[in-house]
Amino acid sequence: DAMVIQNPRYQVTQFGKPVTLSCSQTLNHNVMYWYQQKSSQAPKLLFHYYDKDFNNEADTPDNFQSRRPNTSFCFLDIRSPGLGDAAMYLCATSRDLGGTGGRGGYTFGSGTRLTVV
């Protein structure tokens, strides 16, 4: 089955130590998104790539960076994680930005839960 896969499922990192979360997709979707979700809150969009075109949300801290070396992979780099960065990080894909949901539309990975100690 075509999927969005995030690794690892759980990541524990030290305060201030750079960490990278990864996402891969077999859907051949053009768009890849990174969301941050904290408990009882809606997912917050950090940035997205449309092909190689990077789009940062205005309120995404500089501490968060992303790379998309090819269609299939996208990485979230947190340069100096703080305690407030502990959250679930969700990767999602969509075929395009035309607003198509449902089957073949948005697909979320299972997330990486980041703990900062």
Partner 1 sequence: EDKVVQSPLSLVVHEGDTVTLNCSYEVTNFRSLLWYKQEKKAPTFLFMLTSSGIEKKSGRLSSILDKKELFSILNITATQTGDSAVYLCAVEKGTYKYIFGTGTRLKVLA
> Is position 102 an interface residue for partner 1 (rule: CB under 8 A)?
yes
Which CB atom, from 16 or from 104, has the smaller least distance to partner 1? Answer: 104
Beta strands 53-56; 64-67: pairing state:
unpaired
**Residue 111 exposure: Cα atoms within 13 Å on the Cβ side:** 13
Q: Which of 20, 15, 1 is nearest to 89 (CA)?
A: 20
Q: Quick one: which of 11, 44, 71, 95 contacts partner 1 (CB under 8 A)?
A: 44
Residues that bind partner 1 (CB under 8 A): 31, 33, 37, 41-45, 48, 55, 57, 88, 90, 92, 97-103, 105-106, 108, 110-111
